[in-house]
């Protein structure tokens, strides 16, 4: 007779389960809940033909404005409606082009997929390749996907009355993240965030949390914004928040609104300890993040200075640093008469009382690119990383005279239309990044330089950028779309 009773078997199974739980808890304990997160790769697509970090930095350092008129071929098939609306902005000429075969997507299905989703696929590939990670290759790491995507479903306007099942799978915001995970075989969390203009920095916050909790080993995170039909611009025009002269004049006395912009950026994140262990090239380090909500303010869409102050302070706590450590703040900075003074008052309250009189430089990439809405947070994050790397503060484009409603008396805050060198002697070593949503959801991140001995290139060598066999993918029933002319490329 077997000496082991059913009770003994149950007890053994329970002990094994308990041991497994303890081992898993021990593994999770190895990942600090507030540990730094490394940015090990990046891909981006911006107006003005900018497709990489070097091009982005050159435009920022030169104080260049990437704002212009909508390219003629991008007005199709809504030419008459666009004639009645503002069409200044930063535009991506080939936003409708895509290589469906490369991603194993049929041409018919590709025609129904929102171009924002298609661009996210392309830029995700580029970000992973930049990190030396071969997309789609079998690996043991758990990879998560967090995407900021928002606004009206512009591409749905193209469907008219002929939408089919492909449109259902190609236009919901949730499918933007799910399609990336499906295409590359990623098994970690895949989530799309819509908190209006703060969407992509909110996504960064959750990506960092996923890494810190140990539920992901690698996080692919970013955002996208394309202006695909007049519908969203028409609605924004009714709010009177667009600048009549087509320039975003953040913090300036002439500030009277923002300009819309297109863009997509994705970054690859890993726990810093893992990146160093794996010999990854580290572009920059995220030390802390925070998000909160305005709650009850003077109006549903009105910003709340106290909430903006608190989200900066919460990020400082998460990063384990002080206001004196922040030498640069990449502001939300929309250039609106209401938003700019409120935001600066929050910056003054959170960071204005500094130790040692070291300068705090404040700027906003929106003066160069316009407002990239759902993509603005991650694009601001990349600007901050580049500034930290170069130890240089780019000029605030279009800045001439400080808005008289902004009071910097008694602070070391500096806003300048010129370039400034950023040294450890005159400013703190870290940068903050703010992104605020019109629904009241605020986000802030604190970033610092890469470790001194970071790899020059990703382990295993940087993968080549795919040569896209791209075609213009639009609904077939609309006929052949015009292409960008060589002069517009």
The residues carrying an active-site annotation are 197, 332, 371
Please give the structure tokens belonging to residue 364.
């906003």
* Residues contacting 4, CB < 8 A, separation 6+: none
The DSSP code sequence of 381-429 is HHHHHHHHHHTEE---TT--SB-TT---TTS-EE--SS-EE--TTTB-S
**Buried-exposed string 414-440: b where 16+ CB fall within 10 A, e elsewhere:** bbebeebebeeebbbbbbbbbbbbbbb
DSSP of 204-262: HHHHHHHHHHTS-SEEEEEEEE---SHHHHHHHHHTT-B-TTS---TTBTT---B-EE-
Query: What is the CB neighbour count within 10 angstroms for residue 190?
Result: 21
DSSP 8-state symbol, 265: E
**Of 144, 428, 408, 127, nearest in space to 264 by CA:** 127
Q: Retrieve residue 341's tokens.
A: 């003074």
Residue 452 neighbours by CB distance under 10 Å: 5
Quick one: how far is CA 116 from the chain centroid? 14
The answer to whether the beta carbons of residues 444 and 463 sit under 8 Å apart is no
Residue written as tokens 């830029």? 123
Query: E strand or H helix at 307, and its extent?
Result: helix 305-319
Q: Which residue has the tokens 């995700």?
A: 124
| Residue 126 tokens, joined | 């580029």
Are 403 and 432 in contact by the 8 Å Cβ rule? The answer is: no
Q: Which two tokens stand for residue 159?
A: 């469907």
User: Please, is 7 exposed, middle or buried when counting C-beta atoms within 10 Å of its C-beta (0-12, 13-18, 19+)?
Assistant: exposed
Tokens encoding 467: 């040569």
Residue 187 contacts residue 365 (beta carbons within 8 Å): no
């Amino acid at each position: 007779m077997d000496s082991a009773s059913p009770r003994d078997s149950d007890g053994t199974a329970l002990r094994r389960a308990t041991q497994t739980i303890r081992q898993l808890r021990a593994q999770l304990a190895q990942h600090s809940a507030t540990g730094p997160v490394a940015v090990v790769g990046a891909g981006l697509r911006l107006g003005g033909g900018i497709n990489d970090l070097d091009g982005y930095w050159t435009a920022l350092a030169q104080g260049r404005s990437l704002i212009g008129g909508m390219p003629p071929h991008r007005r199709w098939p809504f030419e008459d409606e666009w004639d009645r609306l503002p069409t200044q902005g930063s535009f991506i000429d080939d936003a409708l082009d895509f290589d469906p075969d490369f991603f194993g997507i049929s041409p018919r299905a590709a025609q129904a997929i929102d171009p924002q989703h298609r661009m996210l696929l392309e830029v995700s590939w580029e970000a992973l390749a930049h990190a030396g990670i071969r997309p789609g290759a079998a690996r043991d790491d758990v990879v998560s996907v967090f995407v900021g995507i928002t606004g009206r479903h512009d591409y749905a306007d193209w469907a008219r009355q002929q939408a089919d099942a492909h449109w259902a799978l190609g236009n919901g915001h949730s499918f933007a993240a799910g399609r990336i995970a499906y295409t590359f075989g990623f098994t970690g969390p895949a989530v799309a965030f819509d908190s209006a203009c703060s969407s992509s920095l909110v996504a960064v916050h959750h990506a960092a949390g996923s890494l810190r909790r140990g539920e992901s080993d690698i996080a692919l995170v970013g955002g996208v914004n394309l202006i695909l039909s007049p519908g969203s611009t028409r609605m924004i025009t009714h709010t009177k928040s667009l600048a009549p002269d087509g320039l975003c004049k953040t913090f300036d006395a002439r500030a009277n609104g923002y300009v819309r912009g297109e863009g997509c950026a994705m970054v690859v994140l890993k726990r810093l300890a893992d990146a160093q262990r794996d010999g990854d090239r580290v572009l920059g380090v995220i030390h802390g993040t925070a998000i909160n909500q305005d709650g009850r303010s003077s109006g549903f869409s009105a910003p709340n200075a106290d909430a903006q102050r608190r989200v900066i302070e919460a990020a400082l706590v998460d990063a384990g640093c002080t206001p004196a450590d922040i030498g640069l703040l990449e502001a939300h900075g929309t250039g609106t008469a209401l938003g700019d003074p409120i935001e600066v008052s929050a910056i003054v309250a959170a960071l204005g009382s500094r130790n040692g009189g070291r300068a705090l430089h404040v700027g906003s990439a929106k003066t160069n690119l316009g407002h990239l809405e759902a993509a603005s947070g991650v694009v601001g994050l990349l600007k901050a990383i580049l500034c930290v790397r170069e130890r240089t503060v780019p000029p605030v484009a279009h800045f001439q005279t400080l808005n008289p409603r902004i009071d910097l008396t008694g602070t070391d805050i500096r806003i300048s239309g010129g370039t400034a060198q950023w040294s450890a002697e005159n400013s703190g070593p870290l940068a903050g990044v703010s992104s605020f949503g019109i629904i009241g959801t605020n986000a802030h991140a604190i970033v610092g330089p890469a470790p001194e001995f970071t790899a020059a290139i990703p382990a295993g060598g940087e993968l080549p950028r795919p040569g896209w066999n791209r075609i213009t993918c639009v609904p077939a029933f609309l006929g052949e779309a015009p292409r960008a002319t060589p002069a517009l490329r």
